Structure 1
Amino acid sequence: MAALSIASASAIGRSTKSRRSCPSRRRISCIGWDPEGLLGPPQSGHIARREFQKRLEKDVDAREAFTRQVREERERRRALRQSRVVPETAAGLIEYFLDTEARELEFEIARLRPRLDKEFFTHLQNELGQLRFSVSRTKDMEDRLIELEAMQKVLLEGTEAYDKMQSELVLAKQRLAKILQSEDKKATEQVAEYMEKIRAAVLKYITV
């Protein structure tokens, strides 16, 4: 599944207390600095990314610092995931996603995929309708509308991409079974290739 890259998603991933007053909002973007997307997107494009990689290859201290930073970020994210309590209602789930860090949304979409059903999206659409057609819309209502529209788009695209990945994994498993049963001497290389594709597909959904 390709990383979500949705500009409107900058309206979600805010803290409970500051989500109305903070002018800067998080974004969901393709991640390129490290294999697991732990450190966020590159700041200056492909050239900056290559320079960073070259520095890691030559500078032992930089490489150790980078490894330590990745490890610390993994621990932070693991602790954060374990501390989150998933609400039982659709209304509560909406707030849960709004308060989730942008880079954690793919994980939460995968974890809560069964909850993102017709009933949930109907509830979300009903609230959007009430906000859109309100006679006296306040600034807070305008902000809420923007946030919910962004979240709806992220969740719809995220669930679609996750379902597609699931289908592709089934096909990959079937293909892998055929390769393993083959008498072709090159089958070993094909197995390694398929296993790497499967690993890449599910990596972002597993707890780091």
Structure 2
Amino acid sequence: MATLQAASPLLHSSSRNLNSIKRINPTRRSSIKIQCVGWDPEGILGPPQGGHIARMEFKRRMDKDSAAREAFQREVKQEQEQRRAKREARVAPDSIEGLVEYFLDTEAREIEIEIARLRPRLDKAFFDHIQREIAQIRFAVNKTQAMDDRLIELEAMQKVLLEGAEAYDKMQADMVSARENLMKILQSKDRKSTILKFEWRDQLTCKICSCPTSKAYKRKFN
């Protein structure tokens, strides 16, 4: 009993301290709003992009409306035909100077096709001509805004054509190598061993591996 009486002042003091603590107003807590939802200091999420609702609505409408889907496909086909007709109507000039202007006037989505079509003319003389013009503009004493714009266009075109020509040459070499390897497989007496030898040397490209004939041989001999 004496112990309880001695502890009574402590309990009374603790209860008074608890009553003095202010409770958090639940309505005030719920009123807190997040002001910055795009905080991404590491840049992991990338720049924000809009138009999500419009794309979802377009996809939903295309899935439900077959008539709209067919109309869209007709528009795509019509646009492709127009691009093909416009491409075939263009005539590449015979001179190097004219060919430079021809590529400068080519749309970005048509540049790969034009590189493949005019690859034989993209030779050392062509690129040397572009490099000389770039050097002349770069070291000109009195530059104008038109010259600066021309320099930017030439440098961008030079980079695109060099990379495009290199990629085209590599693709052609891969196709030739794939054709030669496929002929070796077809003419080999032990086709299974030949296929395994090419795979071990990593000489079978995706074109051969995806070839129906090669797949048939693999199913037959494995």
User: TM-score normalised to the size of structure 2?
Assistant: 0.58
Partner amino acid, structure 2, of 1:97: F
Residue number in structure 2 paired with 1:104: 110
Of structures 1 and 2, the one scoring higher in RCO (CA 8 A, sep 6+) is: 1
Matched, 1:86 2:92: yes
The more displaced of 157-166 and 168-177 is: 168-177
2:143 and 2:97 map into 1 onto residues whose CA distance is 20
Matched, 1:65 2:71: yes
Give 1:108 shift.
0.5
1:60 and 1:92 map into 2 onto residues whose CA distance is 47
Aligned with residue 133 of structure 2, among 109, 127, 130? 127
The correspondence of residues 1-208 of structure 1 with structure 2, limited to 5 A, is: 56=62, 58-181=64-187, 193-194=210-211
1:50 and 1:181 map into 2 onto residues whose CA distance is 53
Task: Check whether the contact 1:128–1:145 (CA below 8 A) recurs between aligned residues.
Answer: yes
User: TM-score normalised to the size of structure 1?
Assistant: 0.61
Aligned Cα root-mean-square deviation (Å): 3.3
Partner amino acid, structure 1, of 2:88: Q
Task: Check whether the contact 1:128–1:148 (CA below 8 A) recurs between aligned residues.
Answer: yes
Give 1:59 shift.
3.6
2:97 and 2:108 map into 1 onto residues whose CA distance is 19
Which protein has the bigger helix share?
Answer: 2
Q: Which has the larger radius of gyration?
A: 2
Task: Check whether the contact 2:63–2:69 (CA below 8 A) recurs between aligned residues.
Answer: yes
- C-alpha change, 1:58 and 1:170, in structure 2 (3 Å) is farther
Structure 1 portions without partners, runs of 5+: 1-42, 196-208
Deviations 1:164-193 (A, max 9, x none): 100111122123334545766xx9xx9682
Task: Check whether the contact 2:178–2:208 (CA below 8 A) recurs between aligned residues.
Answer: no
